[in-house]
Amino acid sequence: MLNRAKKLEHVHSDIRGPLYTESQRMIKEGISVLRLNTGNPATFGFKMPDSVRNALLNNADKAVGYCDLKGMPEARRAICEYHKSKGIQDITPDDIYIGNGVSELVSMALTALLNDGDEILIPSPSYSLWTNSAYIAGGKPVFYTCDEQSDWFPDIDDMRSKITSRTRAVVIINPNNPTGAVYPKEVLEQIIDLAREHDLIIFSDEIYDRLLMDGVEHISTASLAPDRLVITMNGLSKSHVICGFRCGWMVISGAKGKADDYLEGIFQMAAMRLCSNALTQLVIPAALDDFASTKAMVSPGGRLYEQREATMRELEKIEGISCVKNKAAFYVFPKLDVKKFNITDDKKFAFDLLHEKHIFIVPGSGFDFPTPDHFRIVMLPEPEELAKAVADIGDFLKDYRQ
Ligand SMILES: Cc1ncc(COP(=O)(O)O)c(C=O)c1O
């Protein structure tokens, strides 16, 4: 028997795990499954912006060789300007690494940081990339609560109570996946204060920073913490709906002086993979200048906005479901009334819904949420299709009991 490595023991993905395998089996049998599991806009007809297409087609010849291991200079200059415009101080293109999506960079940054047993504070609920990368790096994810009663903002007292002598870093996902919450300045400042007090590195995953609705403002954590080592992650997968390009970056700011050795570790990791996909780096300057295509999606009349409205309208009609409206991104994380439905196993709930209504949602446990009463909806299909799907969920719940 050939066993997988022990370090994969706790790695989990309900977005692409057993539910995914079952949905694939059903699709092969000819069943049409509505996949509300991944945040992959292209699968629902979102097209790449012209800015991106033109930059790619006009420059492709420049991407034939390996490029600088940190990324193409022009692309890093554009990224640097973008983050300076968001208030991150004292950065140069040298503080930027471009990667094959944020996914690769998270893994690089945590592998370079964590020794076996080192702890890292991660939000619950949260997108599992951070948790899984921490496990593989030998670290121990410790979850802090994001409080549904307070618009899903991090509970600072809970975060404080989870800090030990082994805690190395805190992860902030803002805007958040799966809650769609956007954190105000006061919340970020309290987290930064804790990081100061306990000498923690801050990782701030801001990949949804442009997908804002209802006039909310996004504040970059690093802009408030020039004295702390902050690693900000961002990319084009979501704002420019080009997940398949695998284009992300990280910006290292703040107290770099004290982190020479760690930063060399990151350099080693980046050097090992030679460079990130060069073709996709060609589009970064044009994409970062193109605010209009993203704005059009999140403004009233735009797809992401109307899809959210349609989803919320239908969710409100379901007895036994409550839901905090997201302010960014394209996810909501509704709550089920456990007493009413007697739900004890959220994976079973997801399997039952998949089998009965052919709708694939991800259960809350897939986001390291501790109770079995939540699930995530990806709001990417057109408004009518989403409205129908949510109505179907309501219909399914009418007599669902575990
Ligand atoms: C919070 C968050 N970070 C990172 C990623 C991955 O981004 P990328 O496509 O750049 O690897 C996702 C994808 O859904 C995400 O939700």
Lining ligand 1 with CB less than 6 A are 39, 101-103, 127, 129, 173, 177, 205, 207, 235, 237, 243, 248
Pick the CATH number of 50-289 from 1.25.40.10, 3.90.550.10, 3.30.70.1400, 3.40.640.10: 3.40.640.10
Q: What percent of the chain has pLDDT over 70?
A: 100
Average predicted confidence (pLDDT) for the chain:
96
Q: Note if the bond before 178 is cis, omega within 30 degrees.
A: yes
Is the predicted pLDDT of residue 215 greater than 80, yes or no?
Answer: yes
- Mutating to test ligand 1, I would choose from 238, 333, 380 the residue with most ligand atoms within 8 A of its C-beta, which is 238
Distance 41 CA to ligand 1 centre (A): 12
Q: Which of 104, 111, 86 has the alpha carbon at shortest distance from 212?
A: 86
Q: Which of 74, 380, 85, 24 has the alpha carbon at shortest distance from 237?
A: 380
The residues pairing with 120 across neighbouring beta strands, listed in sequence order, are 141, 169
The pLDDT tens digits of the residues spanning 251-281 come to 999 998 889 999 999 999 999 999 999 999 9
Segment 370-378 shows an average pLDDT of: 96
Q: What percent of the chain has pLDDT over 90?
A: 93
Distance 51 CA to ligand 1 centre (A): 22
Is the predicted pLDDT of residue 17 greater than 90, yes or no?
Answer: no
Is the predicted pLDDT of residue 1 greater than 90, yes or no?
Answer: no
Distance 61 CA to ligand 1 centre (A): 28
Segment 141-145 shows an average pLDDT of: 98
The answer to whether the 6-47+296-398 and 50-289 domains have the same CATH topology is no
Place of tokens 């790449």: 48
Distance 127 CA to ligand 1 centre (A): 8
Cα dihedral sign, 152-326-342-31: negative
What strands, in cross-sheet order, belong to the sheet with 248-253?
96-99, 248-253, 230-235, 201-205, 167-173, 119-124, 140-147, 153-154
Segment 51-58 shows an average pLDDT of: 94
13: pLDDT confidence band, cut at 50, 70 and 90? Answer: confident
Do residues 106 and 255 lie in contact, with contact meaning Cβ atoms separated by under 8 Å? no
Domain segments of the chain as ranges: 6-47+296-398, 50-289
Six-digit token pair at 66? 């390996």
Q: Report how far residue 348's alpha carbon sits from residue 325's, in angstroms, rounded to the nearest whole number.
A: 25
Instruction: Report the pLDDT value the prediction gives residue 50, as an integer from 0 to 100.
Output: 95
DSSP sequence for 265-286: HHHHHHHHT----HHHHTTHHH
Instruction: Report the pLDDT value the prediction gives residue 362, as an integer from 0 to 100.
Output: 95
Instruction: Report the pLDDT value the prediction gives residue 258, as an integer from 0 to 100.
Output: 85
139: pLDDT confidence band, cut at 50, 70 and 90? Answer: very high
The torsion angle over the Cα atoms of residues 61, 49, 98 and 60, rounded to 10 degrees, is 0
Structural fold of domain 6-47+296-398: Aspartate Aminotransferase, domain 1 (3.90.1150)
